[in-house]
Amino acid sequence: MQRAIYMDWNATAPVRPVAARAVLRALEEVGNPSSVHGFGRAARKLMEEARSALAAQIGAKVENIVFTAGGTEANALALASRGARRLIVSAIEHDSVLKPAVDAPVIQVDRNGVIDLDHLRFRLEQDAAPALVSLMLANNETGVIQPVAEAAAIAHAHGALLHCDAAQAIGRIAVDLSALGADYLTLSGHKFGAPQGVGALVTNGAPISALVVGGGQERRRRAGTENVPAIAGFGAALAAIDTTAAAEVAVLRNMLEARLLDFDPATTVFGREARRLPNTLSFSAGTKSAETLVMALDLAGIAVSAGSACSSGKVKPSHVVTAMGFDAAKAGTAIRVSLGETNTEADLNAFMAAWMKIQTVPSMNQIQPAA
């Protein structure tokens, strides 16, 4: 049977073996990390080791890290902590930011998906009331990296705070809280090889208003017994990040991009002229819908996605692509390939063989499942 090929790392990265082992070890501990006896202290030690690993990775203070159940909760916590501040969001944010911000002013992006800093200034100057600006570090669909440090400087000059969703960034590009100038930073463990269901909100001292109350956990900023096994896996995955792997993955991504353009020069690569994550390739070619393409590639044994993977399996036109100025038809054919450390050139060969076949057959009925 043909080996299935995974090219959807931005949806979730495979759990690193060292992280899985850390989870298993933590599951053998019996203590509640809030208990003062030896069992509780042992559990808390695992959790605080992970907190220290994260602090060291991004240049944060341990006391400014709140563990959450993932990136969505961390985003919600950041937005809820703005108090009376009005909210301003970029047009390309993840749905976990856009859905709670239905009436918020939106910052435009250019054709490459990069935020328009002049439009950010305009939005801030429209209303003198204090604001919270939400701008992701790297887009989950296109991989386009945003000028967060410049946006933070503009926000601060207007008395605003800046929240940065950096879920896709760690392990792929450098993430430094001070260099970014962000007041809030969102992280998600399963994007870099930790288990699903664990994330963090990090601040530089900005206030946090608890969404979940009832206990004193996480310095009273997030009540409820912490998920010690997942947090231990989070810390182990951070420590296992290989900084050289991103460059090797970039070689594969660039190779695949070149092959797609060689096959069909009319292919649109979204954000091609912008700085992007080294592993991400979002593109559109032909008229087949994204849903059809994802299903056809799956039948060929290759896993990719159409934009965000946070919609319960639904495939819909990309709001990111439309925000970049492309029409709904183009957005409806956009798919995302996101690579990782275990992908090989052989995977690219298999993808291209399947892609060329899909593009040349008239219907899904002529696409056979992988043997």
CATH of the structural domain 17-239, one choice from 3.40.30.10, 3.40.50.1820, 1.10.3720.10, 3.40.640.10: 3.40.640.10
Token digits of residue 8? 């959807």
Residue found under tokens 């939005």: 123
> For 17-86, what is the HEC assignment?
HHHHHHHHHHHCCCCCCCCCCHHHHHHHHHHHHHHHHHHHHHCCCHHHEEEECCHHHHHHHHHHCCCCCE
Q: What is the mean pLDDT of each run of 10 residues along the chain (371 residues)?
A: 86 97 96 96 97 97 98 98 97 96 95 98 96 98 98 98 98 96 98 98 96 94 97 97 91 98 98 98 95 95 81 69 95 96 97 95 62 53
Domain residue limits, the chain? 5-13+243-366, 17-239
Residue 207's CB: how many other CB atoms inside 10 A? 12
The closest alpha carbon to 302, from 269, 337, 267, belongs to 337
DSSP-based helix, strand, coil % in the chain, nearest 5: 40, 15, 45
Active-site option among 241, 269, 303, 310: 310
C-alpha 76/C-alpha 132 separation (Å) is 13
The closest alpha carbon to 302, from 248, 259, 357, belongs to 357
CATH class for the region spanning 5-13+243-366: alpha beta
pLDDT of residue 1: 42
DSSP single-letter state for residue 131: E
CA distances from 282 to 223, 263, 304, 328 (A): 39, 16, 10, 15
Reported pTM: 0.94
Half-sphere exposure of 165 (CA within 13 A, CB side): 29
pLDDT of residue 159: 97
DSSP single-letter state for residue 355: H
pLDDT of residue 347: 98
pLDDT of residue 244: 87
pLDDT of residue 355: 97
| Residue 164 annotated in active site | no
pLDDT of residue 362: 73
